[in-house]
Structure 1
Amino acid sequence: MGDQVRQTVAVIGGGSWATAIVKMLSEQDIKINWWLRSVSDIKHITKYHRNPSYLSTAKINLNKVNPTNDLKASVRDASILIIVIPAAFVAEAISDLSQTDLKGKRIVSSIKGMVPDENLLITDYLKKHFRVEHHDLAVISGPCHAEEVAMERQSYLTVASEDEDFALQLADLLRCHYISVTTNTDIYGVEYSAVIKNIVSIACGIAHGLNFGDNFQAVLVSNALSEIKDFLDAVSQKERDINASAYLGDLLVTAYSQFSRNRTFGNMIGRGYSVKSAQMEMEMIAEGYYAAKSIHEIKQEFEIELPIIETVYHILYEKISPIIEFQILKDKLK
């Protein structure tokens, strides 16, 4: 099948998860326009078939993948755009695109965060600023870490869209011998759950940094699932199975995995790092840091108790001692 008739998908972002998605997509007979900001990374990928900055063990199939730093060109002939940029930088990264550039295209968020200041999910941001229709939107969620995708370990994704046909189409693009994909129509539930589990993962990291053990973390995570359910029920009244992998599974992998950057960030905070020093040492974005402020502000509109979320918010933004906050939190868990 020639390039001229192959479907084209644009992947916007150059990080580890973007690299993992490019690897998954390249298992299909499609063309992938891969936008990266870094010119030097593009040159390296073109020469060595690997992203030097992230997930360098993953080999990139350049027969199917076209790395570029021309954003408009990357989306021009694509029918589907998958955005994989830290939420705090989405607005800046796609600011050169217009409503016209996105017209008639289907847009996918694989971002587990919220746009700061506006406190918007990525799908809501795209609807507000680019007038993307809700039925043209989808989200990709876990439970899945990029590092295990690179190793081709069996992994699972969830694709959510209110358009079931679009969800199934996207699932077929991502599915391969090491990736299983399920679909659902709970786009807000999946998106919000992915945001909140990063905050919980920070809490788990802080607990570990403070030398709380496995017994405490088990109770912390089980209580966190209840918080996620309470929040979702308040903001999006839709029937959902909170024990499904898109919710509970994604929470577990982020709360416990060695690959979780949010857990790593929290662990550093628990060990006494300041927020700034932890961010500088990690050199990677912990989405849960920004999400803690957004979810804290959103929850003010609803009469719901989210003690774990509030604990993380107090530590990160009000600079209250992690030891003091966790002494208060432990008496609220059950």
Structure 2
Amino acid sequence: MKQHKEQEFEELRKRIEAASSYGRAEPKPGKWMAVSEMGKLLGLKKTDRYWLIHKNYFRTENVMGILRVDIASFEKWYANQVKYRKVTGEEPGLELKESSLSPGDIAELLGVTTDTAYSIIRKNKLETVIVDYWKRVPKEVFWDWYHSQSRYRTKEDRERDAAVEAETLTMPEMAGLLGVTRQEIYNILRNEKYMHYFKFVIIADRKRIYRKGFEEFLAGQDQYQLKSSVDISGSVIVGVSELNDKAAACGSGTEKKTIPEKKYLTREEAAELAGVSKGTISKWYQEGEIPVIIIGKGIRIPLKEFEQWLSKRKEEATASGND
């Protein structure tokens, strides 16, 4: 194999060094450059220059006894490859980048890792072309796939989505606000009595409802009320007083519909009210002593029922002490 390559290089050298007997005209300025000039432009040693010529990436011709490179075809090749770079710093692959994307380009566009970009290409069977041993995806193919899904978003679309997210709620967030299960939320959304309140939007493959419709729903019925002002992760979604004002504004007539400011306690608040530790509160609800509602991975304790339970417990303790 090595001997074969050496023979090829030797043949190339002979072509370059051989004098032409065809009486060709002088090369036109700006149309041709010598192989040595091409090599210096790319920072290549002599052997690497010959190997590049041997690949026939661009047009070469024997002009006045010297093998020369056609500048126009060389520039066309340079604009459609990314392996070689001119010592002048001129960026390679400009035409290639206009028509296709590398996995790195896709990763940057979508704000994901390069591994994820490769996974997207593989799982969605996106058409690829191989350039300098690297996969690239034609832009038309990428954008057709992009507009067919909503999970992955560009930076511009993420910024646009953020504005929409600020005006919407997910199903789990709605469940947390009402203190009900997610299944109950789906029942509400399918109920003909309530479905007209809700308008949906899908962001990153998740269905969301607009807050305005949720506020109108709160004001338009009496079966469901706001139970908590925090979501399942504990971060504030919207203030209770704010929802009170908006829900009242959505109602009709002069009577205002008010959502109670405090109907449920956290474990910490219940512990402080009872004068015990959070661990004792956990023990009580795990033993079924006190009523709770489950919100995601957290709990809320109904204030009224808890106060009644504490009062009854105190009375029983007092009566037992008298006996």
Q: TM-score, normalised by structure 2?
A: 0.25
Larger Rg computed on CA atoms: 2
Q: Which has the higher contact order (CA 8 A, sep 6+)?
A: 1
Q: Scaled by the length of structure 1, what TM-score is found?
A: 0.24
